[in-house]
Structure 1
Amino acid sequence: MILEDFRQITIQNKQGLQLTVLNYGAIIKELMVPDKNGKPVNVVIGYKNPSDYLQNYSYMGACIGRYAGRISNGSFSLNGMVYQLHKEEGIHLHGGQNGFDKKFWFIDDVSEGEDPYVKLSCISKDKEEGYPGNLKAELTYQLTEKNELKITHSAICDRDTIVNLTNHSYFNLSEYLDIGGHELSINASKYLEIKENLLPTGKLKSVGKTDLDFRKIKEIGDLKMDNTFVLDDPEKVAVSLYSPGTGIEMSLKTNQPSVVVYTPKTFGGICFEAQNYPDAPNHDHFPSALLRPGEFYTNEAVFSFNIR
């Protein structure tokens, strides 16, 4: 693998929202947003050198698949068969050892006109990381004239399988300053209870009277999170993040049932992974992750930016 394998595409809308994407991992490398003074701010954490993403242990900006999140015992049952996936420390995480974040994606189309976009795709072959069936994933990043970054994941398969895709960008609206002063709201009154290895127990718990109650906007402070929030209303804004320093406000809407909110301990960023529940294939009462031939999987996440 050499530097020439990497391709970098940049698109920009008329409002100055600018996106840079890599073909490796379908990674969002930069997302430039004008602040309250008109100064462009890179609101995602990333590396300057594309080849540094080969050691991207934090999944910065990448597409996660085939299954985002954790799967207990690294296995699941489907149609009477048990499928053993790659696992470490008793779990399968973010698609395995060579998930979608480690693939060189095809760049299928780039448009620099109104509502510019980048379209990418990749193929996951039958038995890759242990998953059944050949699966084709497509991903579109689009900048709209409403100052939105619209991320659309889609997939089709030739055999019953499971799928759960998401983007793993770390946001910081103050450009690499601590995120403790950011203000956060989450449209969720429940979250998934977790046990060892951060696996869900299957129970939904109330955020009431806990540090995870962000139904009213408040500072993040020194709280560290790695939690799945079950969204109350898919028609409403799922998450809102605001930086008083830059005046940038970001809101997320999605068609997914949950958002995993993750704040790493080693750098100042926050992840909003719009997706199905972790370990859903092993909990019958969780939303189904099953994808059948002839069906079309779609995960849409729209990040809107404004100044206040």
Structure 2
Amino acid sequence: MKSTFLPLLLAGLVIFQSCSNKSSESSESTTETQALKIEKTDFGKLPDGQTAELYTLKNANGMEAKITNYGGIITHLTAPDSSGVFDNVVLGYDSLAGYLKSSPYFGALVGRYGNRIAKGKFTLDGKTYTLAVNNMVNHLHGGTVGFDKVLWKAEPIEGEEPALKLSYVSKDGEEGYPGNLNVTVTYTLQKNNSIKIDYTATTDKATVINLTNHTYFNLTGAKRDILDHQLTLNADRFLPVNETLIPTGELKPVAGNVFDFTKATAIGARINDPKDQQIKYGGGYDHCWVLNKKDKELSLAATVYEPTTGRIMEVQTTEPAIQFYTGNFLDGSITGKKGINYPKRFALCLETEHYPDSPNQSAFPTVVLKPGETYQTTTIYTFSAKK
């Protein structure tokens, strides 16, 4: 009996331990799945009665991104500091009402054409198209009702790296642009504390396109302005502009002037240079830098370091350029998240893109999309911290 009983007892213990381990693994798996589940809530009503939705994405590290299908807006994005503490690092509002009332493109998807088109006109295949003039004498960020002000169809994608797929059909003639444009933008919250943005589009008629995201970043967690943030741009040239911020056509070297960020430099170090006419035109930095890169390779475009928190943001993109903007038009009249006031230079934008006014400047890389072609770009914002 002893010799028979002992093997049976041991076998029972092995089976019990195996079942126990499987139960533990199943519990851990369930916990992880729950942690990465995408939460969907109502964000508010639009004037036409439609409901905007807010999606919350989380990764296993505790990073969180909140995105609404109204304008594809990133309303909330957390990043760790040197102590591992996560805090929101983007500007915006706590509710939809703020974005509807007044928003300088906080966190929004921008299109069909990000940045400016001179005098709201361009010619394509012998036909002149007239767009809204909504920025001085120029067209800006897609017009009166650009992609930042429409309701996108949302498809949450749960998994180890949760994603939100947004799609929108921009009809032929919308905001003056030709062609029915089918657009898809996918936000993915990755394991390495990055948010990846993939843009694709197709058209049934030749058109122009330049999609980007207009998130306002403040790596202090909106505790102070961004003038002490240290910026590095992988760009040896920038585009000088005229008094209405339209590129002159020149690709000017940054060496020896206030636009040189080839080495880490405090944003506020030269932003008030009274001798620089370009700084006067923009009221600070609001210019496009030409990236040092090959064609459409995904490469490092910019690095931002905030010394008091240790937070670092790296920007990789397949795009040929990046618009660096220092919140020059914030004037303290906006009260944003948690009742925080947003004064001048309280945030920075790094908008990956093609050059401004490319439809009117043949020497610039083309922004024309034709039937049968697919527009495809990727930009990744990665967050870490220096210990």
TM-score class normalised by the smaller sequence: over 0.9
CA deviation map 1:196-223 (0-9, x unaligned): 2100011111111111100000111262
Post-superposition shift, 1:56? 3.6
Q: Which has the higher helix share?
A: 2
Tell me the residue number matched to 1:299: 377
Aligned equivalents of 2:298, 2:54: Cα separation in 1: 34
Aligned equivalents of 1:282, 1:28: Cα separation in 2: 31
Aligned equivalents of 1:57, 1:51: Cα separation in 2: 10
Q: Which of 247, 253, 263 lines up with 2:316 in the alignment?
A: 253
Asked if 1:14 corresponds to 2:60, the answer is yes
Q: Which of 192, 196, 204 lines up with 2:239 in the alignment?
A: 192
Post-superposition shift, 1:4? 6.4
Tell me the residue number matched to 1:30: 76
Tell me the residue number matched to 1:182: 229
Tell me the residue number matched to 1:135: 181
For 1:281, what is the secondary structure of its paired residue?
Answer: helix
Post-superposition shift, 1:112? 2.9
Tell me the residue number matched to 1:289: 367
Output aligned runs, 1:69-108, within 5 Å. Answer: 69-88=115-134, 89-107=136-154
Post-superposition shift, 1:131? 0.5
Post-superposition shift, 1:231? 0.2
Q: Which of 167, 173, 178 lines up with 1:121 in the alignment?
A: 167
Asked if 1:44 corresponds to 2:90, the answer is yes
2:318 counterpart letter in structure 1: N
Tell me the residue number matched to 1:240: 303
Aligned equivalents of 1:28, 1:235: Cα separation in 2: 22
Contact 1:12–1:112 (Cα < 8 Å) also in 2: no
Tell me the residue number matched to 1:263: 326
1:212 counterpart letter in structure 2: F
TM-score by length of 1: 0.96
Asked if 1:228 corresponds to 2:306, the answer is no
Tell me the residue number matched to 1:66: 112
2:250 counterpart letter in structure 1: K
CA deviation map 1:95-125 (0-9, x unaligned): 0001000001111x21232111000111111
Aligned equivalents of 1:188, 1:301: Cα separation in 2: 16
Pick the structure with greater CA Rg. 2
Q: Which has the higher strand share?
A: 1
For 1:181, what is the secondary structure of its paired residue?
Answer: coil
Contact 1:180–1:219 (Cα < 8 Å) also in 2: yes
1:74 counterpart letter in structure 2: G
* Structure 2: stretches of 5+ with no match in the other structure: 1-45, 272-283, 331-342
Q: Which of 212, 233, 236 lines up with 1:166 in the alignment?
A: 212
Aligned equivalents of 1:4, 1:121: Cα separation in 2: 16
* Structure 1: stretches of 5+ with no match in the other structure: none
CA deviation map 1:139-163 (0-9, x unaligned): 1000111221101111111111010
2:167 counterpart letter in structure 1: S
Aligned equivalents of 2:102, 2:286: Cα separation in 1: 19
Aligned equivalents of 2:187, 2:234: Cα separation in 1: 24
2:290 counterpart letter in structure 1: V
Aligned equivalents of 1:57, 1:78: Cα separation in 2: 31
Over the aligned positions, Cα root-mean-square deviation in angstroms equals 1.3
Aligned equivalents of 2:63, 2:375: Cα separation in 1: 28
TM-score by length of 2: 0.77
Aligned equivalents of 2:179, 2:370: Cα separation in 1: 10
Aligned equivalents of 2:311, 2:50: Cα separation in 1: 35
For 1:83, what is the secondary structure of its paired residue?
Answer: strand
Q: Which of 156, 168, 171 lines up with 1:110 in the alignment?
A: 156
For 1:73, what is the secondary structure of its paired residue?
Answer: helix
Aligned equivalents of 1:55, 1:299: Cα separation in 2: 31
Aligned equivalents of 1:62, 1:239: Cα separation in 2: 20
Output aligned runs, 1:152-163, within 5 Å. Answer: 152-163=198-209
Are the structure 2 counterparts of residues 57 and 197 from structure 1 closer, same or farther at C-alpha, using a change threshold of 3 Å? farther
Identical pairs, percent: 41
Q: Which of 176, 198, 208 lines up with 2:255 in the alignment?
A: 208
Tell me the residue number matched to 1:272: 350
Post-superposition shift, 1:235? 5.0
Tell me the residue number matched to 2:280: none
Post-superposition shift, 1:55? 2.6
For 1:238, what is the secondary structure of its paired residue?
Answer: strand
Contact 1:275–1:299 (Cα < 8 Å) also in 2: no
